[in-house]
Chain A
């Protein structure tokens, strides 16, 4: 019973590790790593869901009648693409944050934001920032 759900245990453990990293770590890159682990656990969940006992890969072959369900594979291919886009965007944002704040630690960024908020006003009316 317990071993029969082995793949699900892996998924749950990975999911928790990922979420924990996102929440507990202040480093922006580490947060992205956590997010990726979290997303990957869902990919594994979908892929293991598609497994059919005694079935082969969903490629048409002679003298085989049982195939794994190809649909979750296809779905998760899309989700992987979405995940890559998210990671790329997050990393690009981190680069911009590093340029603007000279730090990728959440604590330092929040401190700088607080300092900026307590300053009187952000912009001179007629100045052009560009």
Chain B
């Protein structure tokens, strides 16, 4: 009875997530065809009531989040059977769906205060999800994440309050129209600083990343795959939304030395994250630190503030979701079979779990940025955006950063393929199909979108073009 109920709840979660994926795909198609869609909640007109506003940017994000959550849920049932006690399964799915709701809500809403509420819905449920990990360090990681996450969210709240004080509105489109009049006041500058710092805490931008490695490492495998593929992307969306749409490019990038600041922090993130990843022995921790480095790439693309740069950042959001989703799901499969993700336990897994390890290999190559994978496409756009601006040194540093990625991916490949298998692992079998299907769907997507870039690049490009066009910076 208990077992069948857990199965039912899983099925329900899967259907809900799958439906939201279908709706997101249809929405994105409609937005691309006919422009921004506005939905007024409860029938109240926009500046007074809350509106949901879908443009190309958040349509794209909706598609990424709902697709990743659905794929991760496929593997969830098998994985949590092993990692979470049976009586907690129902709660797990409730928290998972709440977290998904919060993320989708942050992305669709056009109201600044609503952003805070949805952000906290998704954050609170993800603290609880992380605490479900069976290592006791998961509790400590969740506690640290809670403290830092709450400080970040409260910073955003202060920023929103200051903006409201200056303009008397909470609607993002309305804020964008009214902020330029008062842009030179200290209050608006303070509001901007609070909002950006808060968002960067949620985003785990170096040096505000301290909560991320432990949270990803000790959370249940499914939770790690879900959060790594979606949560930081949502925060990154907020960063773009607030700087490009609400405060406007001219304010964000000329009044403050934001471009220099973000580029430096992005580069530092790439190097610190990658070097820290090289020295880890826990494979989940390796990829957690690598996430900090990958956020660095997104932030650099963002800080260039040209159409190509923003396209690169958006592409990297999409591509990083595909890579990290595949990697963390594959690690979930490893945990399922051998109960550990220490790198010395990987010895000989190349023969014993060939399909899982091949997935890690391909996704790892994508992380490095090999041609024919998605990682190459986003790095290509990033480099061309930098060269467009003539920032050669940064481009060179990014290439060196990619070499560091090669080092830590190679460590895993070496253990899995070139070392004799451990005697304790001699009876290990390939991961079950429930894992292999979503993992390989993601791996195939990694290759497919690396070759046929029409969908991802076109959407990212037109989204960033319309963001900059609204500011009058690009002639249509």
Contact = CB atoms under 8 A, between A and B. Distances in A.
Interface of A: 19, 22, 28, 31, 35, 38-39, 42, 45-46, 49, 72, 75, 78-79, 82, 85-86, 89-90, 93-94, 96-97, 100-101, 109, 113, 116, 121-127, 129-130
Interface string B106-136: 0000000100110010001001100100111
Given A35-B150, A39-B154, A86-B124, A122 B340 contact: yes
A89 B146 contact: yes
B339 A49 contact: no
Most buried by A among B135, B136, B338: B136
B143 A97 contact: yes
Interface residues of B, number: 36
A126 B342 CA distance: 15
Contacts, number: 89
Contact of A31 (B147, B164, B342, B345): B147
Contacts of A31: 147
21 contacts: A22-B147, A38-B151, A42-B157, A42-B161, A45-B158, A49-B164, A72-B164, A89-B128, A89-B146, A93-B139, A97-B136, A101-B140, A109-B140, A113-B137, A113-B140, A116-B137, A121-B340, A121-B345, A125-B424, A129-B134, A130-B85
Nearest to A123: B339
Contacts of B113: 75, 78
Contacts of A113: 137, 140
B425 interface: yes
B340 A125 contact: yes
Given A35-B150, A79-B116, A89-B146, A46 B161 contact: yes
A34 to B, nearest CB: 9
B117 A78 contact: yes
Given A100-B139, A125-B338, A86 B146 contact: yes
Nearest to A90: B146
Given A35-B150, A45-B158, A85-B120, 8 more contacts: A22-B147, A39-B154, A49-B164, A85-B124, A109-B140, A121-B342, A125-B338, A127-B339
